[in-house]
């Protein structure tokens, strides 16, 4: 009897301290795991295509596309590492030790923060492109964009190492038994993270896109009444059609981002106890991760250059000499 009980433990040698192994998956649960594994593979593959496209073709080396590239790197990490580990956490015991557990959660927080930061940068980019098109090329350059992206990632790493310093010192402090990998923020840390990772960035994003929407509507009315043509002859500034289309596309990306991220932060918004919050629900976490799969799908539907670059990548034409100079736009 004792032998059978030991067989059910993650670490049989630690009889009184080991977690029990998860129960065998039922058929419907097995289908769910297969589906989640497919989503993880699809997320990594699609975002890798975005990364290769923007990195390879010189015509795509624009400030806006650099921001999309940075976002694709975050989404690629989600599909390659975070999704598979999340499946493992719900399917099996954690055998990789406390250090790997800490690294996993710090990576989760860094990627989440960098994604939010990239969304803020995208909103700022669209704001300048639509609301101040005459000075856009001066204010938003490749060099400045690269600096902003680097700062976004560096600040994300430093910020999350700071708020998770106690967890990094004792990664197993919230584990109820050996074979578990759990991270729980105290109420103060969770409140600070809620403000800096959700409230402040989302406020900036919404305010900027409201401004972009108002300007876009006014410009559309001006064009219909032939005022735009007069302004162009007089040297006035109107956002180009390509910039307006990019604003609509990235507006869809931001909207999907808000829909996927909002449920994760809802408990903090209503003042619910973090340890018992819905944020620990697998459905909410997977909705958060699923945003990384939706972004490249949106590009595929709304960006012709992405569809064209996919064909060149899949057919291996990018291996030809001077393929980086191919006209994509």
What residue segments make up the domains of the chain, in order of their start?
25-325
CB 72 within 8 A of CB 50: yes
pLDDT of residue 18: 74
Quote the pTM value. 0.85
pLDDT confidence tier of residue 23, bands split at 50, 70 and 90: low
For the domain spanning 25-325, the CATH number is 1.20.1070.10
**Beta-ladder partners of 9:** 20
pLDDT of residue 118: 93
Using a pLDDT cut of 70, give the percent of the chain over it: 80
**DSSP letter (8 states) at residue 82:** I
**Beta-ladder partners of 20:** 9
* pLDDT tens digits, 222-252: 666 655 455 554 444 556 666 666 677 778 8
Residues in Cβ contact with 307 at an 8 Å cutoff, skipping those fewer than 6 apart: 300
Q: Name which of 132-146, 155-169, 258-272 the model is least confident about.
A: 258-272
Question: Measuring CA to CA, which residue among 117, 115, 49, 120 is closest to residue 78?
Answer: 115
Report the sign of the C-alpha dihedral through residues 307, 311, 314, 320, in that order.
Answer: negative
pLDDT of residue 271: 60
Residue 120 pLDDT > 70: yes
* pLDDT tens digits, 121-134: 998 998 998 888 88
Residue with tokens 């129960």: 23
CB 312 within 8 A of CB 323: yes
* pLDDT tens digits, 150-172: 999 999 999 999 988 888 888 87
C-alpha 282, offset from chain centre: 17
Residue 313 pLDDT > 50: yes
Tokens standing for 270? 């209503």
Angle at 167 between CA 165 and CA 276, to 5 degrees: 125
pLDDT of residue 28: 64
* Average confidence (pLDDT) over 269-276: 53
* pLDDT tens digits, 33-88: 889 999 999 999 999 999 999 999 999 999 999 999 999 999 999 999 999 988 88
**Beta-ladder partners of 18:** 178
As a whole number of angstroms, the distance between CA 303 and CA 307 comes to: 7
Residue 306 pLDDT > 80: yes
Count other Cβ atoms within 10 Å, centred on residue 154: 11
* pLDDT tens digits, 179-197: 778 777 777 777 788 888 8
């Amino acid at each position: 009897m004792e032998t059978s009980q030991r067989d059910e433990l993650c670490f049989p040698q630690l009889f009184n301290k080991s977690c029990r192994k998860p129960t065998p998956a039922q058929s419907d649960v097995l289908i769910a795991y297969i589906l989640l594994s497919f989503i993880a593979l699809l997320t990594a593959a699609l975002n890798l295509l975005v990364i290769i496209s923007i990195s390879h073709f010189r015509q795509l080396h624009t400030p806006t596309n650099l921001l999309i590239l940075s976002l694709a790197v975050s989404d690629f990490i989600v599909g390659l590492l975070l999704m598979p580990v999340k499946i493992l956490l719900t399917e099996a015991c954690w055998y990789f030790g406390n250090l790997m557990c800490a690294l996993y959660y710090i990576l989760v927080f860094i990627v989440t923060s960098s994604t939010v930061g990239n969304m803020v940068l995208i909103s700022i980019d669209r704001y300048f492109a639509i609301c101040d098109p005459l000075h856009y090329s001066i204010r938003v350059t490749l060099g400045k964009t690269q600096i902003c992206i680097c700062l976004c990632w560096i600040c994300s790493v430093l910020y999350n190492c700071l708020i998770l310093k106690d967890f990094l010192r004792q990664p197993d402090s919230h584990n109820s038994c050996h074979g578990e990998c759990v991270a729980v923020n105290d109420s103060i840390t969770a409140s600070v993270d809620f403000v800096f990772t959700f409230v402040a960035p989302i406020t900036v994003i919404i305010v900027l896109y409201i401004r972009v929407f108002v300007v876009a509507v006014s410009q559309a009315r001006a064009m219909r009444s032939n005022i735009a043509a007069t302004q162009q002859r007089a040297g006035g500034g109107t956002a180009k059609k390509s910039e307006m289309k990019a604003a609509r596309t990235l507006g869809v990306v931001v909207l999907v981002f808000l829909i996927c991220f909002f449920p994760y932060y809802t408990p903090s918004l209503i003042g619910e106890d973090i340890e018992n919050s819905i944020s620990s629900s697998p459905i909410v976490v997977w909705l958060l991760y699923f945003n990384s799969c939706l972004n490249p799908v949106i590009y595929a539907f709304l960006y012709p250059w992405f569809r064209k670059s996919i064909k060149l990548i899949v057919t291996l034409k990018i291996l030809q000499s001077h393929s980086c100079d191919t006209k994509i736009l």
